[in-house]
Chain A
Amino acid sequence: MSGGSYYVPVSSKWPVLASLALGAMMVGLGTLLVFGGAGLPVMVAGLLTVLAVMTLWFRDVIHESRSGLYDEQMDRSFRWGMGWFIFSEVMFFAAFFGTLFYVRTFALPWLDGEGAKGVAALLWPDFTASWPLLEPPGEAVSGPHATLSPWQLPLVNTLILVGSSITLTVAHEALKEGRRDTAWHWLAGTVLLGLCFIGIQGVEYYEAYRHYGLTLQAGIYGGTFFLMTGFHGLHVIIGTLILIAILARVMRGHFTRDDHFAFEAAAWYWHFVDVVWIGLFAFVYVF
């Protein structure tokens, strides 16, 4: 409940700059995709501006926070905000998991002649449903010639990401006990694990394209594989950037034992990314 000290900033130039920069990034991306190369510099400039503006925006927030302008109520606003933001991310991935489920449970069996809509097989007499789908129904689309084993790089990545959630928790506990050095060591370890994950994912993509014929164009298996692991990977990259920023703040001594919501928000985000990966490991790789 409001206690009369809720901080309302007077005005800020960052939001409008951020939206313009994001717009420039979209224009650049669209131009790149539709009309070709000229869009690339615009997109990159837009992206860099977005990152710069966000840095300046958060610098203001950090400054206000450290000047003691934020009360407990403001802290709750941030918590609600971050919580609902992560919920929106959950729904974003839910759409992709729904896609995977629909394709595997309904679309492919139907195309193969099973189930309520099996009459579709009239159009694809030679098609046999399987998952991973190596031979898509249409001749024009060629599937991957092999799929990645979950028990090699993906398993390693699972251990890395689960491990990083643990190291992050250790860092958080240390911070709560006021042991700043321990906290930043473990946090730095977490960042390293995040970087390892990204690197290994890159190697895996290279292998997929180079040796397995597993590409975006390789039918629905390739599509769902890259859609889900790709957006997850993007989130790991964002999460790692956030952790790096938090690491810098821990090292500068920005956080106290009981006031470090920025750290917690980053941790929430990281755990969310971890949980999504476990879902991916189960349904994209193993089953």
Chain B
Amino acid sequence: MRMRKRLVWTASGVALAGSAVARASGWNMPVGVTDLSQDIYGLHMTIFWICVVIGIVVFGAFFFSLFRYRRSRGAKPSRFHEHTTTEVLWTLVPLLILVVMAVPATATLKAMYDTSEADMEVMITGQQWRWRYEYRGEDVSFTSNLATPREQIDGQSAKGEHYLREVDEPLVLPVDRKVRLLMTSDDVIHSWWVPELGVKQDTMPGFVNENWVRINEPGTYRGQCAELCGRDHAFMPIVVEAVTPERFASWLDERRSAAAEAAMGLDREWGMDELMERGQEVYATSCASCHQPDGSGSPPAFPALAGNQALMDDRERHVETVVNGVAGSSMAAFRNILNPVDIAAVITYERNAWGSETGERVQPSAIAERLAD
């Protein structure tokens, strides 16, 4: 009896030590910062330890038999080949364990599906290869792109701490608020995954999926697209900044005025230099991943822009393609992604970079008019 007690204590001690190592070292699923992510972690560890115990019993019997009944040890084979009671037992006991396991799993799953009574809603749209966030009813929306410089990926400079898990604009969410996440996609299937929030949900083109999150601790939480979505699947990270509700409110205000400012200048004539300068920045974040920094593209999926005479001769098509995209291809409709100033600037840039010098300027006001139609 005492022996057994000691065994139990030792086993749980090892188990605790094991899970402590796992928690600290990044070898295990993160516990996360929402109630649900913690429930999931609990389920994960429960089923894991159930497997360990079954494993010890089964592999114990297995290696014992291998050792004890070796022919080299003089074992004579027995002839038994059936035992109904045992067979019924080892069918029913696992069944029982599964039923016990299914109860908490069902409860957690139900909670994960309960998106009712949310305090706010964010629409998340996957695009090849960036995320677009829209705070519904707040008039704030933006896209979030990979911020890791190309040189780090190509090995020309040292990789930073958050290599491939850093973005130009993170999704900012308030803590202690239930946020309903609506998800969809503009092109192929993506999957929005932040392990510490316990949320992974595919974004289906043409359909909307729901999930929700209530973050308990302020902090920065990182994840990335989890569903193969084409060439740059590895390069569409997610960063969530969880802040206090007060800071969130002021951030929303700042974001609104910043967006207004960025879109300013529709009423004036822009000069070549300022369009080129802004266009180069926009090109780097929104276009270069497909059409390449030098405009060479990677045909046939991503046509070259540099030296593309047909495109340079047809300005109307160029504008149309950028504004409305190309149906059935990876070319997105940038009217939903960029403001008119950025669109005008990037088209101007594309028509004057890499030796194409058409000398043409596309004015933000012209784009704005086009979008208004």
- Touching chains A and B, CB distance < 8 Å: yes
Instruction: List chain A residues, Cβ under 8 A from B208.
Output: 117, 119-120, 122-123
Is the CB of A91 closer than 8 A to any CB of chain B?
no
Instruction: List chain B residues, Cβ under 8 A from A123.
Output: 184, 206-208
Instruction: List chain A residues, Cβ under 8 A from B182.
Output: 119, 122
Q: Is the CB of B327 within 8 A of A137?
A: no
- Kindly state the separation between the CA atoms of A119 and B118 in the bound complex, as whole angstroms: 15
Instruction: List chain A residues, Cβ under 8 A from B209.
Output: 117
| Chain A contact residues: helix, strand, loop or mixed | helix
- Interface residues of B, count at CB 8 A: 8
Is the CB of B210 closer than 8 A to any CB of chain A?
yes
A-contact bits for B196-221, CB 8 A (1 contact / 0 none):
00000000001111100000000000
Q: Which residue of B lies closest to A117 (CB)?
A: B207
A 96-148 contacts with B by CB, 8 A: 110-111, 117, 119-120, 122-124, 137-138, 140
Minimal beta-carbon separation of B175 from chain A (angstroms): 25
- Kindly state the separation between the CA atoms of A117 and B207 in the bound complex, as whole angstroms: 8
Instruction: List chain B residues, Cβ under 8 A from A137.
Output: 206
- Kindly state the separation between the CA atoms of A120 and B210 in the bound complex, as whole angstroms: 10
Minimal beta-carbon separation of B335 from chain A (angstroms): 15
- Kindly state the separation between the CA atoms of A124 and B208 in the bound complex, as whole angstroms: 11
A-contact bits for B165-208, CB 8 A (1 contact / 0 none):
00000000000000000101000000000000000000000111
- Kindly state the separation between the CA atoms of A273 and B188 in the bound complex, as whole angstroms: 37
Minimal beta-carbon separation of A125 from chain B (angstroms): 12
- Kindly state the separation between the CA atoms of A111 and B182 in the bound complex, as whole angstroms: 15
A 28-49 contacts with B by CB, 8 A: none
Instruction: List chain A residues, Cβ under 8 A from B210.
Output: 119
- Kindly state the separation between the CA atoms of A120 and B208 in the bound complex, as whole angstroms: 5
- Kindly state the separation between the CA atoms of A120 and B206 in the bound complex, as whole angstroms: 7
- Kindly state the separation between the CA atoms of A43 and B184 in the bound complex, as whole angstroms: 41
Q: Is the CB of A140 within 8 A of B327?
A: yes
- Kindly state the separation between the CA atoms of A65 and B234 in the bound complex, as whole angstroms: 61
Between-chain CB contacts (< 8 Å), 23 pairs? A110-B207, A111-B206, A111-B207, A117-B207, A117-B208, A117-B209, A119-B182, A119-B208, A119-B210, A120-B206, A120-B207, A120-B208, A122-B182, A122-B184, A122-B208, A123-B184, A123-B206, A123-B207, A123-B208, A124-B206, A137-B206, A138-B206, A140-B327
Given A119-B208, A122-B184, A123-B208, 6 additional A-B pairs, CB 8 A:
A110-B207, A111-B206, A117-B208, A122-B208, A123-B206, A123-B207
